[in-house]
Amino acid sequence: MPDEKPINPAPVVRELPTKQDVKAPPVMQAPHLPAMEATGAVTTVLRNTLLPLMGSGAAQTGGGQGRMDTVPAQPSTPSPPSGKPQQPKEGAQVQTPGEGYVRLEVHVDNGKLSVTSAKQVPGPLAMPSAVIHGYAYEVILNNQQVALGSVPDVGVRRAFANRDVPDPQGKHFLINVPTFDFSVRIPNGHFLTANLPKLNIVLHNVTEAPDRFTSLAPLAKQPGVKTTEAGRLAGINLEQLSPNVRPSLEQILSVTDKLR
């Protein structure tokens, strides 16, 4: 195999000036490379003629789709309103005066129920088609269900597992507490002064329930339901309410009674 000649790198001359001089010629560190072409005589690169040279003024952009129009010097006068009121979007739900519900905060103390606050909430209230296992409430008027809802994670205190504690004391378990609060939602159309004595708020502990209810019968009469009544408020008496609750409840009734 013939001997290959070693490739010697091109010599680099570094004739650095011995002192600083603003009029000194440029230092040529790689004289073996071609010199930079003069401005205006560049032939080795293609230049976009639409773009100006650096420092020669603002760039001249070409037209294209999606460009923002030039901001006018004088703002345009807004057009007068047409006089036609704004219409809701097609398919949007429009709230009627009778829609909405009353949210009652109910306190439970060893099975005894009492109302602690009341607030009127706008918007429709949908009746759920089923309940989950555990606590659930229903509002019964004239032996018919007018409100229903599940209230999970109330009346329970959870103890998490501790691997450092042996035997059952270190396992995850639940403790039932006799005192807790939950919310009851009643549609405006049923929350009337004449109905208050007949409204029954019932708290259930549901152990079995179907996937869907087929009627508005009370839970105790629904087929496939196994429940234990945990408390009942048989009617709401304004005279027995606390001074902190009665004024707000009377104000709500002054509105709902007019919706009949």
Sequential DSSP letters for the chain: -PPPPP-PPPP------SS--TTSPPP-S-TTSPPPPPTT---SS---TTSPPTTSSS--PPP-TTPPPPPPSSPPPPPPP-SPPPPPPTT-----TT--EEEEEEEEETTEEEEEEEEEE-S--PPPS---SEEEEEEEETTEEEEEEE-TT-SEEEE---TTS-GGGGS-EEEE-SEEEEEEEEETTT--TTTGGG-EEEEEEEEE--SS--S---GGGSTT-EEEEEEEEES--GGGS-TTTHHHHHHHHHHHGGG-
pLDDT in tens, 92-124: 454 454 679 999 999 999 999 999 999 999 988
State in Å, rounded, how far the first CA of the chain is from the last one: 111
Return left, alpha or beta for 26; rule: phi > 0 is left, psi -120 to 50 is alpha, else beta.
beta
Name the pTM for this structure.
0.59
Kindly tell me the burial class for residue 200, based on how many C-beta atoms sit within 10 Å of its own C-beta (0-12, 13-18, 19 or more). middle
Residue 184 within a domain: yes
Residue 174 within a domain: yes
Residue 113 within a domain: yes
Q: What pLDDT score was predicted for residue 214? A: 86
Return the bridge partners of 184, or none: 104
Residue 67 within a domain: no
Average pLDDT over residues 143-170: 75
Instruction: Domain of residue 193: give its range.
Output: 101-259
Evaluated on CA atoms 162, 163, 165, 171, the torsion sign reads positive
For the ranges 23-27, 56-60, 190-194, which has the lowest average pLDDT? 56-60
Q: What pLDDT score was predicted for residue 95? A: 47
The candidate with the shortest Cα–Cα distance to 119, out of 15, 241, 254, 245, is: 245
**φ/ψ (deg, to 5) at 82:** -75, -15
Residue 82 within a domain: no
**φ/ψ (deg, to 5) at 159:** -115, 120
Residue 221 within a domain: yes
Quickly count: other Cβ atoms within 10 Å of residue 99's Cβ: 16
Q: What pLDDT score was predicted for residue 94? A: 47
pLDDT in tens, 178-213: 789 999 999 999 999 999 999 999 999 999 999 999
Report the domain count for the chain: 1
Residue 252 within a domain: yes
Q: What pLDDT score was predicted for residue 15? A: 56
Residue 169 within a domain: yes
